[in-house]
Amino acid sequence: MENTSKLYQDLDCVLITREQIAARIKELGKTITRDFADKSLMCICILKGSVVFFADLLREIDLPAEIDFISLSSYGAGTESSGTITERSGLSRDVTGKHLLIVEDIVDSGRTLSHLKAKLMNTDCASVSVCTLLDKPSRRKTDLVPDYCGFTIEDAFVVGYGLDYDEKYRNLPDVGILSPRIYSEV
C-alpha cells in the first residue's frame, strides 16, 4: 500500500521505518529520564524539522519537563545548508537554572547547533545538551557531538518524520532517501 502513494514514489528507498524509530525513541526516552532525574529539564524543539520527533520523544520522557520552541533556518529550497542561520522566533520561557535539551531532527554540518548551543550556553541555564534523531558525522564542519543520537546515517539527503525537501515530505511516517531526480528536476 505504501509504495503506491505519491510520497513513497519519490523515494529511492525507506532508510528507517516507523517501527525502528519508535523503538529507538523508547530507548532514548529511558536514557534521558535517567540522566535528568531530579533536574529541572526544559526540552527545546527546533522548528520545523524536529516537531514529529519532539512530540514522540517527549512522551517517552518520564519527568515533569517544560517545553519550548525555537524556529531556525539554514536551508533554502536546496539540499545543501546555506551556512547562514536565521532565527525566526526564539524562546518564550525563562531558562535560568534549567537543564536545556535541544531536540533536533538531523545534524549535518553542525553549524545550526553549534550556533544555538553557544548562544544558550551564554545564558543563566544550568546546562545545554543535544538530542538528535539523525546524525551525518561525515558532513561535519564544526566540533559538535550530539549527547543523544537516534541513528547515525551515511551522507544522503533524507526526508520524512519531520524532515523536508522544500517544505514537503515532513508528513511521511518513515525516514527515506529522496530520489535525486526530485531535486535535479528544479
Burial class (CB in 10 A: 0-12, 13-18, 19+), 100: buried
- State the Cα–Cα distance between residues 91 and 47, nearest whole angstrom: 12
Kindly state whether residue 163 participates in binding ligand IMP, applying the rule CB under 6 A.
yes
Kindly state whether residue 49 participates in binding Mg ion, applying the rule CB under 5 A.
yes
Kindly state whether residue 160 participates in binding Mg ion, applying the rule CB under 5 A.
no
Contact 100, 120 (CB under 8 A): yes
Kindly state whether residue 21 participates in binding ligand IMP, applying the rule CB under 6 A.
no
CB-closest chain residue to Mg ion: 49
The bridge status of strand 99-107 relative to strand 86-89 is: unpaired
Kindly state whether residue 110 participates in binding Mg ion, applying the rule CB under 5 A.
no
Piece in contact with Mg ion (CB under 5 A), picked from 49-57, 87-95, 118-126, 144-152: 49-57
Kindly state whether residue 151 participates in binding ligand IMP, applying the rule CB under 6 A.
no
Piece in contact with Mg ion (CB under 5 A), picked from 21-29, 35-43, 46-54, 167-175: 46-54
Q: Which is nearer to ligand IMP, 14 or 107 (CB)?
A: 107
12 noted as active-site residue: no
74-82 — which CB contacts under 8 Å span 24+ positions? Answer: 74/111, 74/112, 77/166, 77/186, 78/183, 79/157, 79/165, 79/178, 79/183, 81/108, 81/109, 81/111, 81/112
Catalytic positions, written as ranges: 108
Binding residues vs ligand IMP (CB under 6 A): 49, 74-75, 81, 104-112, 157-159, 163
